[in-house]
Amino acid sequence: MSATPTLGFLLHDVARLLRKRFEQRARGLGLTRSQWQTLAYLANNEGIHQGGLADILEMEPITLVRILDKLSERGLIERRQHPTDRRVWLLYLRADARPLLDVMREVGDVTRGEALEGISVDDREKLFGILATMKVNILEACRMPVDGKSADS
């Protein structure tokens, strides 16, 4: 058995450790990882409905509702009724969320800096390019059937 980790395990470990280090630094902000992740995605998708945000976050809508309830209680987000569909709620950040997002970005910058320590600018650019290409490749592959079965099966 080889001691060298596979690509999938290595990528998973790096992502897990980045989250862990971010959480260590962000502990004093009083948010769970799910809450800060929700805020970060909502910042880039304001006005989205709850179901759409759940899809982006790859979580069940009922799980997201609980997270949104907590964020709303803290005054960080607000739900606004859709102008033409009473069943749909649109999500927006409140003013109090903006400084918190700035702190989260700073924590993210420091964490990324730790991870990329000793890696040249050229190698960083290559790494990001390779990972972006891999993402596109996997997204395309996920649209294709496997063994004659639908890709969604």
pLDDT at 109 over 60: yes
Q: Is the pLDDT of residue 151 over 70?
A: no
Residue 147 placed within a domain: no
Is residue 142 included in any domain, yes or no? Answer: no
pLDDT, position 46: 96
Amino acid 52: pLDDT = 95
Higher per-residue confidence, 125 vs 82 = 125
* Domain assignment present for 82: yes
pLDDT at 140 over 80: yes
Establish if 78 belongs to a structural domain.
Answer: yes
**Arithmetic mean of pLDDT, 42-65:** 94
Q: In this structure, is residue 121 part of a structural domain?
A: no
Q: Is 92's pLDDT higher than 60?
A: yes
Q: Decide: residue 18, CB within 10 A, 0-12 exposed, 13-18 middle, 19+ buried.
A: middle
Q: Is residue 6 part of a domain?
A: no
CA angle 36, 38, 43 (to 5 degrees): 95
Domain count, the chain: 1
Q: What is the CATH number of the domain that holds 45?
A: 1.10.10.10
- Within a domain: 132: no
User: Can you give the pTM of this predicted structure?
Assistant: 0.75
Q: What domain range includes position 85? A: 29-114
